Structure 1
Amino acid sequence: MNHPEQMGVKNLLLEFQNFHQTQYSGALDITTSHRHKFRFYYHQGSIVWATGGNHPHRRLRRHMAQHFPQIDLQNLQWRWQNLSINNWDYQLLKALHQKQKIQLSQVNLIVESTIAEILFDIIQQAHSTHVFCERRLEVILDSPMSFSSIEISLQQVRQLWQNWSQAGLSRVSPNLAPCVNQPEQLQQQVNQSVYNNFITLMNGKYTLRDIAVKMKQGVLPITNYLIPYIKKGQIQLREVTDWHLNINTATGTSVDTPLIKQTNLLVACVDDSPQVGRILGEMIIPNGLKFIHIQDSTKALEILIERKPNLIFLDLMMPCTNGYELCAQLRRISLFNQTPIIILTGSDGIFDRTRAKVVGSTDFITKPIVADKVMGILRKYLSVQSSVNKILEQPATVQV
């Protein structure tokens, strides 16, 4: 399988079993029609780690709080570059283990819980639509810390999914967050202690999985208990964004602490790669900025004119319209005369740099993208703008 292959639930489960039987080493990328991306890392037929989905930070934060709440992430030195790689969460666990802050048995618990959650999310989405799978033979984690049995994991997840479906929850994702919608009516139906728990936990910030861990119960009984109130409209289920970990960088700055004060500044990225957009978003949004990723270069000009970003990251090599053409078009519009346009390219050649300057680019970043360079660009070109903007509400992410 050298290219993405469309699969249903049955074939997907067979693929997992086939990897185990053939002693596969590498990675398996799974993409759903909802544009959720997951990656499983294999070593000789065993899954050693899994990551992805729409809540990777929130998921790891939840498991860390559950299995080793004594860890103070504020005192852990962690480089920005590590947060920009695909398996940053695995590398964080490895660093904690090497620093003797957690035991290998605790790592195993995290790995098993993570794999189980991701398998459930994939199976749930695969029951309503197809998923696409692709092998990555070149991606192998060195010296795996844990080896998970796919047979045991699949058995447990299938049982949970069966129970979940029989409870009428097949369309309810455990990644949704409940929020009290009609507090007055709810208060009349439950006792005061239950009501206080509802108000404290069901405020739209914590997912069903988060609440289950906080209450030390399974996610199924928690969700089952809430269903009558959800059907009455007294509690609503909402989608929530990821919840980034609070980690010190090598420079002593927290991931959750904006390097640029929260402003109304908008950063745009025009790049046909979903991965580039995701990586940039994870670097930019926690630093108090709004972010928009535009994958279709043919629609980029129209969207940029409408949204008026304060800084633009622009890929050189894209289908239909390349970065040179789009940069030249932007510079012909008075709105973008002074807008910083940062070229993204996989080449560091003098020709590319010269041509990019000719068409009006401001600066240049070579791929792969690392956080230090991105943060340097933001500080250099947005510091003046941020100082004259008022602090506004929480930044939002838009996927175009």
Structure 2
Amino acid sequence: MNKSEPLVWNKLLSEFQACTQLQYSGKLDIKNTEGQTWTFFYRLGRIVWATGGDQPLRRWYRQMARYCPELNIQKIQLRMEDISKDYWDYRLLANLYKTEQIQREQIKAIVDNTIAEVLFDAIQQANLASVSCDRNQATALEVLFSSTGVDMSMKLMQDSWQTWLETGLEHISPNLAPILKQPEQLQHQVSASTYKNFVTLLNGKSTLRDLAVKMKQSVLPLTRSLFPYIQNGTIELIQVPDLPLQVSGTQKTALPSIKSTAPLIACVDDSPQVCQMLEGILLSHGLRCVKIEDSVQALPILIQSKPELIFLDLVMPVANGYEICGQLRRTSMLADTPVIILTSSDGVFDRVRAKVAGCTDFITKPIVANKVIATIEKYLQAPSLKQD
């Protein structure tokens, strides 16, 4: 274990132990200074469900694909009312069980492995930033399925984390996606069949955990096998957004009513996924949104729509975020509009260059709802925005 881990681990461990000893019922939120939150639901001192992090939908779909392969998860229609609570994923499992689409044994496996994943992510990310723990007894989860005891869950997670450390993967999150950066170099290092598999699978769209499920193996040996190529730069690990939310036709009636006077927020990003995610966050908080995926058309659309705040991707083809930000600052009607840079990099050089171009602030990808809303409230000096 690294030097910073014992302090963080002891803090989290003591909180988990206290919840168990007090026979606590409610939820425990673990937050780090980067804005990430992991939530553990307790019932009489037992962890019965866990959620949170940056990729809850991706995690839910992955667990379903792993333990319920007979179920066509693409046909599962999610409604806004299904995801209006922070344990929406648990409620969906309950609905599938009540309609006899999945069995109790499958749900137990999903519950146990979801708790294990969230525990792992919380301890890994907590080592990169300080954490706080908050209990809330007002949120009680109706327990429908049993889970592995807290002691066993913690033991499994601790063993998994220790093995991850010993393998040298301390700073590698299993939620990152591998992408080939030097295919020509790789072609000379592996067999033709292995190279073909690499090209097919390592496209920057599936995380290490996603790939492990597709390849029907554990994420540890998979990551360990890719590690040499990551070290020599042949493969790069990148952050990816959560899977887009596909909702049924009830979305319009379930969303808050949006007044024409509500703040208009622009999203300029060549990724349709990022634009869709931001739109979902904004609409669910009663805000208006204009999506711009073509960087060339960004300036004229922004001048026409006159948004009150702009989220701007840094890396785009033809016209990048630096250039667009500079153009905005030279346009009188948008010169003072807050421009929030969306970036996958947290490098000092990028921040300095963007500040010179006139940006207001930064948000590091993947997009997290609470960061987006906190930024809007900060720069528009708005009261707390409407929640679902």
- State the Cα distance separating 1:192 from its structure 2 match: 1.1
Equivalent residue, structure 1, for 2:97: 97
- State the Cα distance separating 1:191 from its structure 2 match: 0.5
Equivalent residue, structure 2, for 1:224: 224
Write the mapping of 1:1-400 to structure 2, written as runs, cut at 5 A. 8-244=8-244, 246=246, 248-250=248-250, 266=266, 280-281=281-282, 289=291, 302-303=337-338, 322-323=381-382, 367=386, 369-370=387-388
- State the Cα distance separating 1:144 from its structure 2 match: 3.2
With over 3 angstroms needed to count, the CA separation of the structure-2 counterparts of 1:33 and 1:192, relative to structure 1, is same
- State the Cα distance separating 1:19 from its structure 2 match: 1.1
Query: TM-score with structure 2 length normalisation?
Result: 0.67
Instruction: Report the secondary structure of 1:189's partner residue.
Output: coil
Deviation digits for residues 248-282 of structure 1, max 9, x if unmatched? 344799xxxxxxxxxxx8269xxxxxxxx997259
Equivalent residue, structure 2, for 1:358: none
Q: Distance in 2 between matches of 1:278 and 1:111?
A: 30
Q: Distance in 2 between matches of 1:26 and 1:176?
A: 31
Q: CA RMSD in A?
A: 3.6
Equivalent residue, structure 2, for 1:334: none
Counterpart of 1:95 in structure 2: which amino acid? Answer: N
Instruction: Report the secondary structure of 2:62's partner residue.
Output: helix
Equivalent residue, structure 1, for 2:256: none
Counterpart of 1:131 in structure 2: which amino acid? Answer: V
Counterpart of 1:215 in structure 2: which amino acid? Answer: M
Contact 1:39 1:51 (C-alpha < 8 Å) held by counterparts: yes
With over 3 angstroms needed to count, the CA separation of the structure-2 counterparts of 1:57 and 1:149, relative to structure 1, is same
Corresponding pairs, count = 293
Q: Distance in 2 between matches of 1:55 and 1:89?
A: 12
Unmatched 5+ stretches in structure 2: 1-6, 254-264, 269-277, 293-308, 313-335, 341-357, 360-371
With over 3 angstroms needed to count, the CA separation of the structure-2 counterparts of 1:57 and 1:32, relative to structure 1, is same
Q: Distance in 2 between matches of 1:79 and 1:14?
A: 38
Instruction: Report the secondary structure of 2:174's partner residue.
Output: coil
Equivalent residue, structure 1, for 2:318: none
Counterpart of 2:131 in structure 1: which amino acid? Answer: V
Contact 1:78 1:250 (C-alpha < 8 Å) held by counterparts: no
Q: Distance in 2 between matches of 1:27 and 1:16?
A: 11
Equivalent residue, structure 1, for 2:364: none
Contact 1:39 1:52 (C-alpha < 8 Å) held by counterparts: yes
Unmatched 5+ stretches in structure 1: 1-6, 254-264, 269-276, 295-300, 308-312, 324-342, 346-366, 371-400
What percent of counterpart residues are identical?
A: 41
Deviation digits for residues 183-222 of structure 1, max 9, x if unmatched? 1110111001111111111111111111111111111111
Contact 1:55 1:241 (C-alpha < 8 Å) held by counterparts: yes
Q: Distance in 1 between matches of 2:239 and 2:339?
A: 26
Q: Distance in 1 between matches of 2:63 and 2:144?
A: 19
- State the Cα distance separating 1:38 from its structure 2 match: 1.0
Instruction: Report the secondary structure of 1:83's partner residue.
Output: coil
Q: Distance in 1 between matches of 2:283 and 2:377?
A: 22
Instruction: Report the secondary structure of 2:82's partner residue.
Output: helix
Q: Distance in 1 between matches of 2:252 and 2:72?
A: 14
Counterpart of 1:47 in structure 2: which amino acid? Answer: I
Contact 2:46 2:149 (C-alpha < 8 Å) held by counterparts: yes
Q: Distance in 1 between matches of 2:245 and 2:381?
A: 36
Q: Distance in 2 between matches of 1:278 and 1:60?
A: 21
Q: Distance in 2 between matches of 1:196 and 1:320?
A: 48
Query: TM-score with structure 1 length normalisation?
Result: 0.65
Q: Distance in 2 between matches of 1:239 and 1:282?
A: 24
